[in-house]
């Protein structure tokens, strides 16, 4: 079954129009066929989007939260009604398997529904007074927000930014990656139907250094929510600092997974395979550094390598596919370069390490799931995010040692632990520097659990009830209840 791609126009300030920027060529990396070539946004489109957003936000921000929530529920319903097309477009955009993109579309609908509910059930606070007044703490929208997103899970990233931003009463401008620009445009078609004020939601596929940069620098953009690579995030944080603008940064990772000698081995193997090889490793939370207790290292690695060789590499549309092609030939070349560097540092490639051979794979950006050991935690493959299906494995011999080695890394996004000893799991979970820790599972997600990173993995948290407040300014209001002039002024003068 095939579906129509978006028209090739971009959605600016409530209107579909031809972008004023450079051509964007979107390709289905599974076979190299073109999805669409269209004109991307230019800085002038970004300026128009901000102007339109500022106007639309005034009407939207004045609505009561329950009224805004109604629109978001409509968006969630419309995403579900169009789920097959959205999943198909995202599959063509990213080359992820249809099975995965279908799940991502469902989660995006859930995100809109969740933040609609959070907005309409959010209570403001009456704080404890120290005088004859009521003191209230209230939250207000920030204004125009920009959401800058990467290519790996566009519908999920878009929803995680647009849903709380809109629920909080802001306008939002999304800037998707040029490698996966179509899903966000398809989402714009849906949002347009939901009857939000024109201009409240714009989508500007275009160059990061031009369009993305313009949005971050724009004086009327009040917040940027960025998901992407750490080096880009650091640049944007500098611009935000010059404006004193809040910015949230969801960045890269090099997440450790730890298998203790008492682990349930079947559980650990399934979780590790899913944690690092699903989405072909193109996931910020990929569990890409594996530490296995020395006592079970040899046997465990034999079983893990056997299971990895059995993973089904295949076309994204095949429901049996576990490992789909990579998003782009450049990304595959970058991953191959990391494997080569690991070899040069003495690493032993236990499986994979190359593109699979055979006619099925000839036209796609496939790469075999790869496990490398005999590398140190200081090797490039253990320090840098590979963003591909590559796992580096190392033995360890004690809890304190493995905690120190897990933490000896610039990133701090996620961690997986495999043990039957729950007090040990608790101790280790509290000792690792990581925004999320999974125990005897991996990559499970709930929209109600806050998500974000430590260190070079970012700043701020998305999701959860607090996720709404990340898009709001807090204000204190004091209301006098005494009816009497302030005694300091001594007015009216006593005795007159
Ligand atoms: P990237 O940093 O290259 O690009 C991300 C977005 O930023 C794109 O839209 C890009 O066009 C834009 N951009 C690039 N330069 C810019 C600039 N100077 N000014 C403004 N915008 C700019 O990242 P990518 O390669 O698209 O995505 C992969 C990265 O995303 C990985 O590092 C991955 O870990 C990270 N990621 C993090 C999370 C998370 O939640 N922590 C989730 C998914 C992906």
What would the pLDDT profile of 305-345 be if each residue is shown by its tens digit? 999 999 999 999 999 999 999 999 999 999 999 999 999 99
**Whether 191 contacts 53, CB under 8 Å:** no
Per-residue buried b or exposed e for 322-337, using 16+ beta carbons within 10 Å of the residue's own CB: bbbbbbbeebbeebbe
pLDDT band for position 495 (cuts 50, 70, 90): low
**Which atom of ligand 1 is least distant from the CA of 233?**
2
> Active-site residue 357, yes or no?
no
Q: Compute the chain's Rg from CA coordinates.
A: 25
- Report how far residue 43's alpha carbon sits from residue 210's, in angstroms, rounded to the nearest whole number: 6
pLDDT of 143 above 80: yes
> Active-site residue 161, yes or no?
yes
* Tokens standing for residue 58: 């005034």
CA 196 from chain centre, in angstroms, equals: 24
pLDDT value for 37: 98
Find out whether the beta carbon of 250 lies less than 6 Å from any atom of ligand 1: yes
Identify the H or E element spanning 274: helix 265-277
Identify the CA nearest to 302 among candidates 246, 371, 236, 364: 371
pLDDT band for position 494 (cuts 50, 70, 90): confident
**Whether 393 contacts 301, CB under 8 Å:** yes
Identify the CA nearest to 155 among candidates 233, 79, 207, 68: 79
**pTM above 0.85?**
yes
The Cβ of residue 34 has, within 10 Å, a number of other Cβ atoms equal to: 11
* Ordered alpha helix ranges (H), 310-359: 329-344
Q: At what angle do helices 154-167 and 98-121 cross, to 10 degrees?
A: 10
For β-strands 256-259 and 289-293, DSSP reports them as: parallel
- Report how far residue 184's alpha carbon sits from residue 157's, in angstroms, rounded to the nearest whole number: 10
> Active-site residue 284, yes or no?
yes
Torsion of CA 4, 329, 155, 57, to 10 degrees: -100
- Report how far residue 423's alpha carbon sits from residue 435's, in angstroms, rounded to the nearest whole number: 20
pLDDT of 496 above 70: no
pLDDT of 407 above 90: yes
Find out whether the beta carbon of 248 lies less than 6 Å from any atom of ligand 1: no
Q: What is the mean pLDDT of residues 163-168?
A: 98
> Active-site residue 463, yes or no?
no
- What the chain holds in terms of domains, given with CATH numbers, is 10-251+457-477 (3.40.605.10), 256-439 (3.40.309.10)
pLDDT band for position 391 (cuts 50, 70, 90): very high
The pLDDT tens digits for 48-96 are 999 999 999 999 999 999 999 999 999 999 999 999 999 999 999 999 9
Which residues 6+ apart lie within 8 Å of 338 measured at CB? 380, 381, 384, 386, 388, 390
The pLDDT tens digits for 429-478 are 999 999 999 999 999 999 999 999 999 999 999 999 999 999 999 999 99
Q: How far is the CA of 298 from the centre of ligand 1 (A)?
A: 37
pLDDT of 387 above 70: yes
Q: How far is the CA of 299 from the centre of ligand 1 (A)?
A: 38
326: left (phi over 0), alpha (psi -120 to 50) or beta: beta
What is the greatest pairwise CA distance in the chain? 102
Q: What is the mean pLDDT of residues 369-380?
A: 98
The residue to mutate among 177, 215, 228, having the most atoms of ligand 1 within 8 angstroms of its beta carbon, is 228
pLDDT band for position 1 (cuts 50, 70, 90): confident
Q: What are phi and psi of 288, to 5 degrees?
A: -100, -5
- Report how far residue 341's alpha carbon sits from residue 333's, in angstroms, rounded to the nearest whole number: 12
DSSP string, 391-429: EEEEEE--HHHHHHHHHSSSEESEEEEE-S-HHHHHHHH
pLDDT value for 480: 97
For the chain, the average pLDDT equals 97
Find out whether the beta carbon of 170 lies less than 6 Å from any atom of ligand 1: no
For β-strands 23-28 and 33-39, DSSP reports them as: antiparallel
Q: What is the mean pLDDT of residues 163-170?
A: 98
């Amino acid at each position: 079954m095939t579906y129509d791609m978006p028209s090739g126009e971009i959605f600016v300030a409530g209107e579909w129009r031809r972008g004023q920027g450079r051509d964007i060529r979107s390709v289905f990396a599974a076979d190299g066929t073109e999805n669409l070539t269209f004109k991307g946004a230019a800085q002038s489109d970004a300026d128009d989007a901000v102007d339109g957003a500022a106007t639309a936000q005034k009407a939207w921000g004045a609505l009561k939260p329950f009224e805004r929530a109604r629109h978001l529920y409509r968006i969630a319903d419309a995403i579900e009604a169009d789920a097959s097309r959205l999943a198909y477009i995202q599959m063509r955009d990213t080359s992820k398997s249809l099975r995965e993109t279908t799940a991502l579309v469902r989660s995006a609908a859930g995100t809109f529904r969740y933040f609609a509910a959070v907005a309409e059930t959010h209570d403001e606070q009456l704080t404890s007074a120290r005088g004859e007044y009521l003191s209230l703490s209230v939250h207000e929208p920030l204004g125009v927000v920009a959401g800058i997103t990467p290519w790996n899970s566009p519908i999920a990233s878009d929803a995680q930014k647009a849903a709380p931003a809109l629920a909080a009463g802001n306008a939002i401008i999304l800037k998707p990656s040029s490698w996966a620009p179509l899903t966000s445009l398809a989402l714009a078609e849906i949002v347009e139907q939901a009857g939000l004020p024109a201009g409240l939601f714009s989508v500007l596929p275009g160059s990061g250094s031009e369009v993305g940069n313009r949005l971050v620098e724009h004086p009327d953009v009040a917040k940027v929510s960025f998901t992407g690579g750490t080096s880009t995030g650091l640049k944007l944080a500098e611009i935000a600092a010059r404006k004193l603008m809040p910015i949230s940064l969801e960045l890269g990772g090099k997440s450790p997974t730890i298998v203790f000698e008492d682990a349930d081995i079947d559980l650990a193997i399934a979780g590790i395979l899913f944690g690092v090889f699903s989405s072909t490793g193109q996931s910020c939370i990929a569990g890409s550094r594996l530490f296995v207790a020395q006592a079970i290292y040899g046997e465990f690695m034999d079983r893990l390598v056997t299971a990895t060789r059995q993973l089904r590499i295949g076309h994204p549309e095949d429901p049996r596919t576990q490992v789909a092609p990579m998003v782009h030939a450049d990304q595959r070349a970058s991953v191959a370069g990391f494997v080569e560097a690991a070899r040069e540092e003495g690493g032993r490639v236990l499986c994979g390490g190359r593109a699979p051979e055979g006619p099925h794979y000839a036209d796609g950006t496939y790469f075999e799931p790869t496990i490398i050991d005999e590398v140190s935690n200081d090797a490039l493959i253990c320090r840098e995010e590979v963003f591909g299906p590559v796992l580096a494995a190392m033995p360890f011999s004690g809890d304190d040692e493995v905690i120190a080695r897990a933490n000896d890394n610039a990133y701090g996004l996620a961690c997986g632990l495999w043990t039957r000893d729950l007090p040990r799991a608790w101790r280790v979970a509290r000792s690792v520097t990581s925004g999320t820790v999974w125990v005897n599972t991996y990559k499970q997600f709930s929209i109600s659990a806050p998500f974000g990173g430590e260190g070079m993995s970012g700043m701020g948290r998305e999701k959860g009830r607090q996720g709404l407040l990340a898009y709001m300014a807090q204000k204190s209001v004091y209301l006098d209840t005494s009816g009497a002039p302030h005694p300091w002024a001594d007015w009216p003068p006593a005795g007159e």
